[in-house]
Structure 1
Amino acid sequence: MNHLLLLAPVVAVLALLLTWLLRRYALARSIIDMPTARSSHTIPTPRGGGVAIVISFLISLPLLLMWDVVASNTLWALLGAGVLIAVIGFLDDHGHIAARWRLLGHFSAAAWVLYWLGGFPGLTIFGVTISVSWIGNVLAAFYLVWMLNLYNFMDGIDGLASIEALSTCLGVCFIYWLAGYEGLIWLPFLLSMAVLGFLFWNFPPARIFMGDAGSGFLGMILGGLSLQAAWHSTDLLWVWLILLGVFIVDATFTLFRRLLNGCKVYEAHRSHAYQFASRRVGSHLPVTLSILAINVFWLLPIALCVALFGLEGWVGVLIAYLPLLLLAFKFRAGERE
């Protein structure tokens, strides 16, 4: 236990220092996000700092395996998929990869995760376990790919993707501890520490952006951790879906509304609810902090009710998502700009 507690600040400090180095590298190589009509920022800012999260988290995994904290199948699932997604994102940050090849890489990473985790487990609803067979695995693959891409879409204003990952991981750790799943705590906790080190540089006003390497990595790893949790309890899968509710609802609502409006969904845009909100208030910080407050004071209590007090998981998701859907509608998510 002591060595694990010592590892956490090491991961955070490593991420902080690596982000500083990556910022210098991005400035030297002119890897800069220039403001455009579809941007939510107004100042040229270096990007690619999320690589610090990737490196800091992944190098801790062999230590967790050596200390018998994480199973080998979980290590290989996260390590293989994480490296693949980070490499694809890194190359895309430095140039451009055709969408079809990116998507092929994304599904390959999802298949890798499912292979090592043993596929998608059966769901327990109202005390009845439902076997989902191969259909569950297909849906799980699409779920992982969507998690990866929606995290890319939602990484559009200063600090937002970092705050979402940090609050979700720490919230999950708190629930794991209360519900008696202490063995599951360390992976999301160390991921939160890696994000914390990066957040020092990414907090509004951001001095470096995460980039596709970091945001795609976070989406895939968070999705993988939620499926790992599902093997222990269906309720824990619902917990993850509730805590990630802001990102899931905003990204999904925006996608479907743009489809209905006849928009080209693969084109860059700034019509997510959080983007409309940041333009309305004229700043990123209030929106980022508001989403943090929603996560802590709305979504976390509902997730606690599912994990500890017998609230049916899918009911908890509905309760959690309904106000988020109303907010997405209020802030015109998916409307033409």
Structure 2
Amino acid sequence: MLLLFTVILLLAVILTGLIRRYALNNKVLDIPNHRSSHSVPTPRGGGLAIVLAFCAATLWLFFNRQLAGTTLALFASTLLVAAIGFCDDHGEVAARWRFFTHLLAAAVALLLMNGIPLLLIPAPFDAMLGRLTLNPGWLAYPLGILFLVWTLNLFNFMDGTDGIAASEALFVSSALAAYLFYIDRSLCTIALSLAAACGGFVIWNWPKAKIFMGDVGSGFLGLLLGILILLAAQQAAVLLYCGLILFGVFVVDASYTLSYRLFSGQKWYAAHCSHTYQLAAKRYGHLAVLLTCWVINLGWLLPLSLWIFIHPSHALAGLVLAYLPLIYLAYRFKAGHTEFIVP
């Protein structure tokens, strides 16, 4: 496992460097505009290195009989999102085609997972009632698709400052790997491989970023992490809550900002730069925001997720407790307010 992690990490580092050279030679650049958090043209599309490195890991596991064919096909569904993202990085793709591809990829993934048992939810009752579960039946399919499309778009919304998306994926996949080590070694290896691929990329993406992830990486990561959380929840229902807590920085920022824009009568679908992390980056800089996210993840969200992993009956209370300070941060930074909307 350690050898695989090291090889995938080095592969991602090398691939990112090669893709950066390709982007520079072919003018695949992110040009600063009024929405941007950067000031100089920067190569984009580096997330392709994460995609390729992760695919190499899954193929190696498959040929070494550590990964079932159905699971390989499941992860292959994420390549639909990577492909449409790659096209968008090289020339803008209409939003309707991107959204259709996202829905298709999420639906295919859910069908390959046999989605009915995915959303077994640990009931947050007291210890006297024990750990109860709720089977949503046929609702698992639309709820599962909604969940996967939302996690996919979380990364599209939140990939706007140096290192933040790759770091979030590195954190969530590493924590999931640690939990899965005790439950499902195959899924643990998959999550660890994703962490290695993200770690190799983040070396290039750390402030000041030498290359951006682009849509090819952000959508792929969002969908893949959503799939991993649901697969983990099949093995232990409490891991759905653990995953949502680990994802807290992205879930709260994106959800609060979108909700504020929607309920305040704004064109919520219009371009803007009013997420909490974007406003904080303008005030304190990219590195400060990135380090703060790591402090929140390691010092707050990880301990809470560990607590509910050990005590599943506290799952709902732990989720609420995890999100409350993040909601307050979004409120204090005035996330979603009209004065920060792009004209």
Q: Normalising by structure 1, what TM-score?
A: 0.95
Shift >4 Å, 4+ stretches: none
CA gap of 1:205–1:61, structure 2 versus 1, over 3 A, is: same
The within-5 A match list for 1:221-260 is: 221-260=224-263
Contact persistence 1:246–1:291 (CA under 8 A): yes
Secondary structure of residue in 2 paired with 1:166: helix
* CA distance in structure 2 between the partners assigned to 1:94 and 1:15 by the alignment: 21
CA gap of 1:211–1:120, structure 2 versus 1, over 3 A, is: farther
Contact persistence 1:120–1:140 (CA under 8 A): no
Deviation at 1:180, TM superposition (A): 4.4
Aligned to 1:270: 273
Contact persistence 1:120–1:227 (CA under 8 A): no
Contact persistence 1:157–1:284 (CA under 8 A): yes
* CA distance in structure 1 between the partners assigned to 2:168 and 2:337 by the alignment: 24
| Post-superposition CA distance 1:221-253 (Å, at most 9, x none) | 000000101111111111111101100110011
Aligned to 2:198: 195
2:135 aligned partner, one-letter code: S
Match of 1:87 among 83, 90, 95: 83
Deviation at 1:64, TM superposition (A): 1.4
1:323 aligned partner, one-letter code: P
Q: Does structure 1 residue 205 correspond to structure 2 residue 208? A: yes
Contact persistence 2:180–2:232 (CA under 8 A): no
The number of aligned residues is 331
Q: Does structure 1 residue 328 correspond to structure 2 residue 330? A: yes
Question: Which segments of 5 or more consecutive residues in structure 2 lack a partner in the other structure?
Answer: 126-130
Aligned to 1:102: 98
Report percent identity of matched pairs: 46
Q: Does structure 1 residue 301 correspond to structure 2 residue 303? A: yes
Question: Which segments of 5 or more consecutive residues in structure 1 lack a partner in the other structure?
Answer: none
Deviation at 1:183, TM superposition (A): 3.9
* CA distance in structure 2 between the partners assigned to 1:313 and 1:67 by the alignment: 37
1:247 aligned partner, one-letter code: F
* CA distance in structure 2 between the partners assigned to 1:184 and 1:29 by the alignment: 37
Aligned to 2:121: 123
* CA distance in structure 2 between the partners assigned to 1:114 and 1:274 by the alignment: 31
Q: Normalising by structure 2, what TM-score?
A: 0.93
Contact persistence 2:122–2:313 (CA under 8 A): no
Secondary structure of residue in 2 paired with 1:124: strand
Aligned to 1:219: 222
Deviation at 1:311, TM superposition (A): 4.5
| Post-superposition CA distance 1:129-179 (Å, at most 9, x none) | 2221121210110110111111111000000001111111112222333x4
